[in-house]
Amino acid sequence: MGGTFRRVTDAIRFVLIFLACSLLCYGIVSFLAENFLPANPYREPHGNAIKVIGLLEVSDSKELDWYVDRLQLFYLVGE
């Protein structure tokens, strides 16, 4: 009977320590995420931000061919 009681207390102690460590790790990760990640990463940028994409007109087929050739080179060679 004494061995069973000891096993039960050991199991309860293990569960309590596991829960305490889990809550501690969750708290640390939550703290780090709250303090180091931006609040809204998809907000509109401010300052000296510039738009880096431009749309091509359909009449610019020569320029479009250059993009297609460049993409094919990237797929073939990887650069």
- For residue 75, the model assigns a pLDDT of 86
Predicted model pTM? 0.48
Return all residues near 67 (Cβ < 8 A) that are at least 6 apart.
56
Mean pLDDT of 47-58: 68
- The three-state (H, E, C) secondary structure of 13-70, written as one string: HHHHHHHHHHHHHHHHHHHHHHHHCCCCCCCCCCCCCCCCCCCCCCCCHHHHHHHHHH
Question: What whole-number percentage of the chain has pLDDT above 70?
Answer: 78
Q: Other CB atoms closer than 10 Å to residue 74's CB: what's the count?
A: 10
Give per-residue pLDDT as tens, 3-14: 899 999 999 999
